[in-house]
Amino acid sequence: MKQLIFFITIAATFLLGCQSNPNTVKEDVSFYKVPLVCGAAPEIGCGSRIKPLFVATEKEKAVKESWTNRQGTVIAFVWNGHNTINEQMLEDLFVKNNIEAELITDTSILKELRASFRDKGRWYEGMDVDQLSIEEAGVIASQTTGFALEEGFVDSTQAATIKSDIENYFKTELVQVRTLENLTSDSTQERWRKDAYNIIVNRVGKEKADKIAHAYEKKLSEIESCD
């Protein structure tokens, strides 16, 4: 009986050990500090800036997964194995995509990052960064229509319709893969302004759209002069 109990104990210990292994396996993950906070929505990362990098890493066999935290301040890469780790390759991709990145080596910070890594809503993998761009589109639409509504240029019904139109427009625009040069170019920014303006014109007419545009530009200039 004692021998039976002994073998049962050994078997149970072995099984429990096997069950706990998935949680104790240490992956090869590199974490980088990055300045990719969204300008329009500073509480989230800029999906438009992150996406081109992730598209590039998808072509690298050494990289198993690419992740960003919600804030756009940390990017993580899961390697396919210890022998595939290639920090220089990542540094080259950061440079190519005009991203300043710093490898995180502080053990206390790494421990904290690993504790939340992959948490839903806190980390986004690969093309899931489009969710951040879609959220940004909503923020841009809210800012534009919110101003027009507060200033009395439109009523709540008109504001809701314009918001929906502008949000849908930017949902399509912000998920496109663009270089930093293209994304921040005068031509792209001007096209966005004109398209947003035309959306407003279609809903409230040119005269009122001109008033909204003039008042909004005046507000922005006042904000910039205070900085």
Residue 104 lies in a domain: yes
Which of 126, 159, 175 represents a domain boundary (last residue)? 126
Question: Do residue 113 and residue 40 come from a single domain?
Answer: yes
What is the DSSP-derived secondary structure letter of residue 25? P
**CATH classification of the domain holding 117:** 3.30.70.100
CA distance 81 to 104: 19
Q: According to the model, what pLDDT value does residue 153 have?
A: 93
Q: According to the model, what pLDDT value does residue 16 have?
A: 35
Crossing angle (nearest 10°) for helices 156-174 and 186-204: 150
Q: According to the model, what pLDDT value does residue 2 have?
A: 42
Which of 126, 145, 172 represents a domain boundary (last residue)? 126
Question: Do residue 177 and residue 206 come from a single domain?
Answer: yes
Question: Do residue 99 and residue 137 come from a single domain?
Answer: no
Q: Which structural domain range is residue 152 located in?
A: 131-226
Question: Do residue 103 and residue 164 come from a single domain?
Answer: no
Structure token pair of residue 28 = 């090869």
CA distance 54 to 63: 10
Q: Provide the number of structural domains found in the chain.
A: 2
Q: According to the model, what pLDDT value does residue 18 have?
A: 35
Q: According to the model, what pLDDT value does residue 223 have?
A: 61
Q: Are 138 and 165 in contact (CB under 8 A)?
A: no
Residue 52 lies in a domain: yes
> Closest by alpha carbon to 113, among 58, 69, 56?
69
Question: Do residue 120 and residue 136 come from a single domain?
Answer: no
Residue 18 lies in a domain: no
CA distance 68 to 37: 11
Q: Are 80 and 63 in contact (CB under 8 A)?
A: yes
CA distance 50 to 60: 16
Positions in the chain short of pLDDT 70: 1-25, 222-227
